[in-house]
């Protein structure tokens, strides 16, 4: 059986689904497991639990048994593969006959029964001695185990930061979704409008309204990133992802209210080319996206604290919108 090594990174959706069947992080998976899970999902009623590909409570007994058997078989196949690799490494340069003899010896040693001496030596002792009371040892002082040092080698090979919203994908994908959110999502989808939601901060003294991106805005953002990269604006991948996040944030803010009063409306990207933005350093020779980013970040969100608070709400908004998008494909959307 071909298996997949899952030691690098597994999404939270997949982890939650597999853990229902006794799978643990790092366990191998059958190479054809994705097809098996898709087939099971087709004949299983949709789940109302967020974050599961398929719910074990709604599955048939045969499907549950088949998945558990496949996971167990993958463990056996992975162990056999590792044993073969060890034998190959130990017998490198041996002749075929010597390799066969060595493999046979290793196989016999692994199958050799273990002898355990469970005899009661006190019962067969010719002169049993009285048991002397042992002094009570003081309770050991609890020692807090040292946290393992995180090094580059121990980090997952795959990216753990979402390039769209800068969310740490190691965190739980738990975003509260209300019936009002669902109604608004359906309405804007059928009406061809943007999805909007208002977030309140500092006991309702600061509120920000966020809007979903248009397809054309997303295209313009990635085109601008190519131009920025060509101009040498990025020194690392981190700066590239940060600029992507800033462009998306600038296009997603609809308005900001401070103590119930509208601070300044944020124009849509399509409106920027034909207007003069109120910030002093507005350069009309630049592209609309560069001007909008400059206006939002350095005029409306000048404070590091304010920018960080708004960015956190934007990440929550993006997760909410993506969750609604994923739920829209399910028949139990409501």
195-245 confidence digits (pLDDT tens): 999 999 988 899 999 999 999 999 999 999 999 999 999 888 889 999 999
Using the predicted structure, report yes or no on whether residue 18 has a pLDDT greater than 50.
yes
Alpha carbon distance 276, 273 (integer Å): 8
Using the predicted structure, report yes or no on whether residue 21 has a pLDDT greater than 80.
yes
Q: 29-38, 208-217, 259-268, 290-299: which has the minimum mean pLDDT?
A: 29-38
DSSP code for 221: H
Mean pLDDT of the chain: 80
DSSP track, 123-189: TT-SSPPPPPPPPPPPPPPP-PPPPPPP-TTTS-SS--B-TTT--BTTS-------HHHHHHHHHHH
CA distances from 204 to 97, 197, 259, 317 (A): 80, 14, 7, 17
pLDDT of res. 76: 86
Average pLDDT over residues 5-28: 75
SS3 call for 210: strand
Q: Which comes out higher in pLDDT, residue 244 or 85?
A: 244
pLDDT of res. 9: 57
DSSP code for 205: T
Contact 286, 271 (CB under 8 A): no
Alpha carbon distance 280, 283 (integer Å): 9
Q: Which comes out higher in pLDDT, residue 100 or 313?
A: 313
Structure tokens at 145: 């185990």
pLDDT band of residue 153 (cuts 50, 70, 90) is: very low
Alpha carbon distance 212, 185 (integer Å): 11
Closest among 231, 250, 257, 327 to 293, alpha carbons compared: 250
pLDDT of res. 137: 60
Using the predicted structure, report yes or no on whether residue 158 has a pLDDT greater than 60.
no
Contact 247, 241 (CB under 8 A): no
pLDDT of res. 169: 63
DSSP code for 121: T
Q: 7-21, 42-56, 118-132, 223-237: which has the minimum mean pLDDT?
A: 118-132
Contact 250, 294 (CB under 8 A): no
- Is the pTM here over 0.85, yes or no? no
Alpha carbon distance 297, 303 (integer Å): 9
Average pLDDT over residues 168-192: 82
pLDDT band of residue 150 (cuts 50, 70, 90) is: very low
pLDDT of res. 311: 92
Q: Measure the CA dihedral 202/208/212/216, to 10°.
A: -140
Contact 211, 252 (CB under 8 A): yes
DSSP code for 206: E
């Amino acid at each position: 059986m071909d298996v997949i090594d899952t030691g690098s990174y597994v999404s939270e959706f997949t982890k939650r689904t597999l853990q229902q069947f006794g799978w643990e992080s790092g366990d191998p998976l059958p190479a054809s497991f994705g097809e098996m899970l898709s087939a099971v999902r087709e004949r299983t009623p949709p789940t109302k639990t967020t974050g599961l590909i398929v719910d074990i409570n709604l599955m048939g007994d045969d499907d549950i048994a088949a998945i558990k058997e496949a996971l167990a078989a993958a463990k056996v196949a992975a162990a056999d593969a590792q044993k073969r690799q060890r034998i190959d490494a130990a017998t490198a340069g041996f002749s075929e006959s010597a390799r066969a003899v060595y493999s046979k010896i290793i196989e016999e040693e692994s199958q050799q029964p273990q002898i355990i001496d469970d005899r009661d030596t006190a019962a067969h002792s010719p002169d049993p001695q009285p048991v002397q009371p042992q002094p009570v040892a003081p309770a050991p002082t609890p020692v807090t185990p040292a946290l393992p040092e995180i090094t580059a080698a121990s980090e997952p090979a795959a990216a753990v930061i979402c390039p769209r919203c800068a969310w740490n994908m190691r965190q739980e994908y738990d975003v509260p979704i209300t019936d009002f959110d669902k109604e608004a999502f359906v309405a804007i989808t059928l009406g061809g409008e943007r999805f909007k939601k208002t977030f309140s901060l500092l006991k309702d003294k600061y509120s920000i309204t966020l809007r979903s991106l248009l397809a054309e805005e997303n295209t313009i953002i990635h085109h601008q990133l190519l131009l920025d990269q060509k101009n040498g604006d990025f020194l690392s991948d981190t700066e590239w992802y940060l600029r992507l996040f800033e462009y998306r944030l600038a296009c997603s803010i609809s308005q900001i209210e401070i103590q119930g009063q509208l601070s300044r409306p944020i124009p849509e990207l399509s409106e920027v080319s034909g207007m003069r933005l109120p910030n002093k350093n507005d350069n009309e020779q630049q592209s609309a996206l560069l001007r909008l980013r400059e206006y939002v970040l350095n005029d409306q969100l000048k404070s590091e604290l304010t920018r960080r608070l708004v960015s956190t709400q934007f990440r929550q908004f993006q997760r909410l919108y993506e969750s609604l998008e994923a739920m829209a494909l399910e028949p139990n959307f409501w």
